[in-house]
Each structure stands twice: as structure tokens, then as C-alpha cells.
Amino acid sequence: MPNPRSHRTIKSFKPVLKWSLWLILLVLIAMALLFAGGKLYQNWDQDPDRGAIPMPTSAFGDSYSTPVYLEQGWSRSDSLWFYNTTQGSALMPYDFFLALEQAESDALFRSDANMDYYRYLPQKPTFFNPDGLPVGFVKESYRGKDYIGFTCAACHTGQVNYQGQAIRIDGAPAMADMVGFLVGLEKSLFATLDDEQKRERFVEHVLAQNNDYRRREQVLEHLQKWADNIQMYNTINHSHVDYGYARLDAFGRIYNRVLQHVLNRHHLAKLLRRIETPDGEYLLTKEQVEQVLNGINGTVLHDDEFRLISERLQSSENGYPGLGQRDMLRIRDAIFNEPNAPVSYPFLWDITHSDYIQWNGVANNAGMGPLGRNAGEVIGVFGKLDWEAKDPGFSLSAHLTGQRNKRQRIAFTSSIDLVNLQRLEAHLGRLQSPEWPQEILGTIDQEKAERGERLYSRYCQSCHQLIERDAWDRIVVGKMLDIDIIGTDPAMARNSVEYRGWSGNFAGTYQATGVGPLVLEEEAPVVQILTAATTGVVATPDPDKGFIRRRLDWLYTLGLSFFENKIKYSVRSGDYRPDTTAQPYNSLLSYKARPLNGIWATAPYLHNGSVPTLYDLLLPAKRPDDPEDGEYRPDEFMVGSREFDPIKVGFRSDGYEGFRFRTLRRGDSNAGHEYAAGRTPQLNGEVLPPLSEQERWDLVEFLKTL
């Protein structure tokens, strides 16, 4: 007989099912409306010049009229959305940046002339950029506070000037000097603290904004805090290798930010107790270490705690050791790695179609790879990392980062905007490489280009594949070449493999590699610590949103990132050292060759920007036993001008006072990749004869057509 109770249960369950289905439907409708509204909003800024302005008096004499744009698959609104979309970068309070004066004058630090000096691109106010910030600078709001932050465009928007006409190129390498900018920012902050008139003007300006600050004392307290933060960042990342314009050791700086924020008290105490002076004595006694770390109990350490520890180490009061600058640098060097391998900012067209990303192919671009890669990038450009210790309990980030069995687990709360990172990655899928503008830079000699094409197929194409720039289904395969074969400066590749750091709460956790899991020791490869940290960030919903929305947004972002990504996992192509269980990162000791479409707009050349023009790249680097009357790559040249040389194809490299690039030291070498000079073997081992001068010009002419 039928069970009456089961009928009643089914009957009572029907309304619950009905309302659950309605709720799911309403949530889906709301998400669809939000998506549609976001798309409409994304196209709202339609400034006809894309915010670009002329610079009648520009740095290094390369003044220009209002820039023009080439056809790259993006509309006006596409460019402006890319320039002004936040990714979670929080360099300093927004009001402070608007009010800050330059160290040596009362002119604003953010003035067009000053930003142009650092080679950031000035803009006029538009809908998405009401304060007229330069390309790549944006207001970031996080936990009720406004910050100035960097967007992708700061490092990946280029410009070519020729005889007064400027061409703005989306996705091209920036000419920016980020290190000079941050050093100038530090000087200006401390000048404001030290100069009474500057200080009063600054406070008045900040309070007049009527945003995050209401009291004078609060402004001054935070001014000191942010000046110390920028100074600490610059000190940690100081390098004996000068970067200059157009390059940055981004990975070295990302590594150091991660090491700073995963370090715990236990490891810091152990590290401080073992540092020695040149005489072989221990720098600090056990008692001094305990005194310096008194009250510091963190599983992770924050900027405020680092500042406090630094102040105690340098103080001679209350039993503190009173260390001098040299001893403080010894401590810095024991915790961090010198970011001494600057590289050119990569160009972004074809990035979403590529199998491996970064100069040495460190980032697999399949599946969730792009989201992790971009999260790491935001860590490097001042994402606010509010990582904190949590008691045991289920946590997806703890599960994915191997912290399941830890007594405490790092919660990777941060300002990093995963939703926007996914949207930006999808946006780049429509970006195309720029084509040589013959009406501005001169007509291409088709006869020479045809001869050059034959040379390209013989000398270049085995590594640099030819692709259709607008083919939606293109897959870009990077050919990885061992650093000993390619012969270019090895610093970046070696640092990525050899740099190590204290792993904090990741010590004793299992972490995946391409050849199997490894257990992280207390001192571990920084590349693996970074991978674990970015995994934790990606697994953490946005703290700035309500409970339901942040989880729905997070699921939506992960779903889109995984299912929209057409790149599948594949093994690396090329000639490189295979990863082994003993050397799991061997394959990173290589550099990637990628298609050369748009290469004309990406000078200087080689991964470290050590060759000024394409013509120079076809010459050999001078060796000690080479004859003096030969033609070689320049050992010194100027960087900073955007004035274009359409003959040799590159930027003007002499006749002005920019940054003098010298190719003598590690990180700056211009050797290697000497195929056209008959010195570097092809993939099959064959060394082709050196090109004649006419053949070099023919090949340059063909490269203009890509």
C-alpha cells in the first residue's frame, strides 16, 4: 500500500523546490542583467582621441601632436576601458597622489610634464578618467578607501613619434621608467614631510578633497606611513643594475613582495640569529632578536610590522641593537633577492592565443593559468595584501595551497580584482598587432621585402612562426631555446630558477610541479612560493563584496577563465633542458621565441632591451678578438626618446640626454641571438653564413611587413 507519510513529504517538498527554482532563475536573471549592464558601461567612454593629448614640449625633444591610432581590432571605448580598468593595485592614497608636489618645486608630481619625463603617457579628463590621470593610472577603491593604482596599460601601451606625429599603440611595450618614478615619489613624500610650506599646502589640498581624510593629524600620520612604505619598497628592491627606461625586473620585484608577505615570525627569528658580520661574528644575539621581535606573533607579517622591526633594529634604546646601514643591508640581503635582471615590457597582442607566457615561458597559459599569472602581476604592482592567519577549518585556499594540516592557515585576502583580471584577459583576445603605417613612416620597398621574406624563411622562421594577425583561431607556439644555445643574457632565466627564499607557512606543504609534487623546505625556490601564493589568491573571493555576490562573482570568474580559455595544456616546444625530479625547473633556463608580427613597434630588442634597432640586431656583438673595423651592435646607446628611426627600425639612440645603456655587466649583455651574423646555430644545429649588408637591409624591410 502507498505510504501516506511519503505522499505528505513529497507534497510539502514541492513548494520548497518551486521557490528554489524561482530563486535560481532570479539569480541567473540578475547575473545576466549585471553582465549586460557591464557591457554597456564598458562602451560608455567614446572620446574621439581616446583621451590622448599633444605634448608641445616633451622630454628629450620628441614633442608631438595629438596621437593617432592604428587599426588593432579595438574601438575608442575598448582602449579607454583598458586604460582605466582597475586590477587591484593600491600604490598610495588617491588624495595624496593628487596633492603631492615634486621634491624640488611646487609643481604637482602628477603634472603632465613630470609624468612625461618618466615616459608615462599624459591624458585629458574623460568619462572613465575624470582627473586626467596618465595612461595606466587609476583610482582603486578597496574596503572603503581610495588609492592610486596601476592598470595593465601603464606597462603595455606604447607610442612611436615621427617628425611631430605620434602613433599610440595599444598593447605595445611602454617606455616607462617605473623605478625612477618610485624613487621620485619617495623623494617627494619626504620633501613634503621636511618642508613646512609643502607640508601645509599638501594637508590643505588633501582635506579639501573631502574624501577619506577629515583631520590634519590623520593626514600627517598617514603621510609618514606611506613615505616609509615607498622607501621600504625601494630599499628592498634596490639593484646595482640600472634599469633606465623601457624595462623592469618585474619578476624579481614580485618575488620580493611575496617573500615579504609569507615570512613568519619563526623563520624571521631563525634568519636573524644566523646572519654573520665580515669578521665571522653573529650580527645579533638571541636576546636582541627576541627583543626586536617582542609582540610580533604573525604567521604572516605586514608592512606595519616590517616597519616596526626595521625601526627597532636601527634603534639603540630599550636594548635594541642600533644597527647601521651596512648591517641593515646584510639583513635585507638575507631575506630578499636582488632584482638585477631587468627585461623589456612584453607586448600583449596574441597573448591570449599563446601556449606559454613570459620571456622564459614560466607561465603555462592553459586552463586557469592566465588568472594566476595576472594575480602575480598585481602582487608586483602594489596589490594590497591583507594576508592573515586563520584557525583550522575548511578553506578552499588552504586546501589548494597545501595548508590543510597546518595549525594555522594563511587567508589570502587582498585587493586583487579577479573579476576584472578575467575581463581584461578576455578583452585582450581581440587585440591585434599594429601594421606598419606607410603614410606616416614611409613606403615599404616591396622588392626588398620579397628578398627579405626568403631570408626570413631560412634564418628566422624555424623559431618565429608566421601567423595571421586577425585569425580568431590562431594558436601561438613559443619555441623555447636553452640559454647556452641562444647565448643571450642569462640573468633573468637563472634568477627565476636559482632564487630562493623563506617559505613561511608553506614550509612542509606539498606543491605541484610538472614532474610531480615536492615538499617545500624552510628555504625553497621562490618560483614555487609564488605559485602557491597566487593559487591562494585565485581561490579567495573578493572581500569588498557582499557574502552572496562575492561567491557568485568568484564562481563566475573561475568558470569563464576555465571554459573560455581555448589554450589547452601542451609540452613546451623547442630545444631546452627537460625538467627532472632532481631539477624540476630546468626548462625555465631558456628564452622564448614568438611570432614577430608588429615587431617594428617594440624596440629596444632582445629580452633585456640591449639592442636599439632591428638592423643592429642582425649584427654580431663585438668580442675581444674581433677586428676593430667591423660592424657591431652598439655597446652604448641612449634610451628614453620616442622619436622613431624608420630606416634601422627602432627609437632614436643618440644625440640627447636620456638613460645611457651600457652592455657590459650581467643583466645588460647584448650578446647572443646572432643567427644573421653566422654565430648562433639553428634548431637543427646548422650555423648559416652571415648576411651581407644588402641582405640585412632586405630582411629589415620584410620585418616591417609583419
Would residue 358 be called left, alpha or beta, if left means φ above 0 and alpha means ψ between -120 and 50 degrees?
A: left
Q: Is the same domain home to 190 and 161?
A: yes
How far is the C-alpha of 414 from the C-alpha of 416, rounded, in Å?
5
Is 325 within a domain?
A: yes
Select from 544, 559, 592 the last residue of a domain.
592
Is 21 within a domain?
A: no
Burial class (CB in 10 A: 0-12, 13-18, 19+), 194: exposed
Q: What angle do CA 449, 450, 452 make, to 5 degrees?
A: 60
Total residue count of the chain as it appears in this document: 706
What residues make up the domain containing 273?
251-335
Q: Is the same domain home to 263 and 303?
A: yes
Q: Is the same domain home to 238 and 327?
A: no
Query: Which pLDDT band, with edges at 50, 70 and 90, does 700 fall under?
Result: very high
Query: Which pLDDT band, with edges at 50, 70 and 90, does 143 fall under?
Result: very high
- Residue predicted with more confidence, 341 or 41: 341
Q: Is the same domain home to 228 and 329?
A: no
Query: Which pLDDT band, with edges at 50, 70 and 90, does 11 fall under?
Result: low
Is 684 within a domain?
A: no
Q: Is the same domain home to 299 and 323?
A: yes
Q: Is the same domain home to 375 and 331?
A: no
- What is the average per-residue pLDDT within 360-372? 90
The Cα diameter of the chain in Å comes to 106
Query: Which pLDDT band, with edges at 50, 70 and 90, does 505 fall under?
Result: very high
Count Cβ atoms below 10 Å from residue 223 Cβ, excluding itself: 23
Mean pLDDT of the chain: 92
Is 40 within a domain?
A: no
Is the pLDDT at 1 greater than 50? The verdict is no
Lowest mean pLDDT among 144-153, 191-200, 422-431, 548-557: 548-557
CA atoms within 13 A on the CB side of 38: 11
- Residue predicted with more confidence, 562 or 129: 129
pLDDT tens figures, 65-92: 999 999 999 999 999 999 999 999 999 9
- What is the average per-residue pLDDT within 644-664? 97
Q: Is the same domain home to 295 and 393?
A: no
Is 274 within a domain?
A: yes
- What is the average per-residue pLDDT within 292-309? 87
Q: Is the same domain home to 157 and 289?
A: no
Is the pLDDT at 47 greater than 70? The verdict is yes
- What is the average per-residue pLDDT within 248-263? 95
Q: Is the same domain home to 365 and 292?
A: no
Q: Is the same domain home to 415 and 320?
A: no
pLDDT at 117: 97
Which span out of 159-163, 278-282, 316-320 was modeled with the highest average pLDDT?
A: 159-163
Select from 286, 313, 335 the last residue of a domain.
335
What is the residue whose three cell numbers read 601556449?
355
Does this model's pTM top 0.85? My answer is yes
Retrieve residue 403's grid coordinates.
595548508
pLDDT tens figures, 526-574: 999 999 999 999 999 888 887 777 777 777 777 777 778 888 999 999 9
Is 265 within a domain?
A: yes
Is 426 within a domain?
A: yes
Is the pLDDT at 354 greater than 70? The verdict is yes
Retrieve residue 186's grid coordinates.
619617495
pLDDT at 672: 97
Q: Is the same domain home to 407 and 511?
A: yes
Q: Is the same domain home to 257 and 108?
A: no
pLDDT at 300: 83
**What total number of domains does the chain contain?**
3
- Residue predicted with more confidence, 581 or 11: 581
How far is the C-alpha of 282 from the C-alpha of 304, rounded, in Å?
26
Select from 573, 592, 611 the last residue of a domain.
592
pLDDT at 189: 98
pLDDT at 37: 63
Is 237 within a domain?
A: yes
Is the pLDDT at 10 greater than 60? The verdict is no
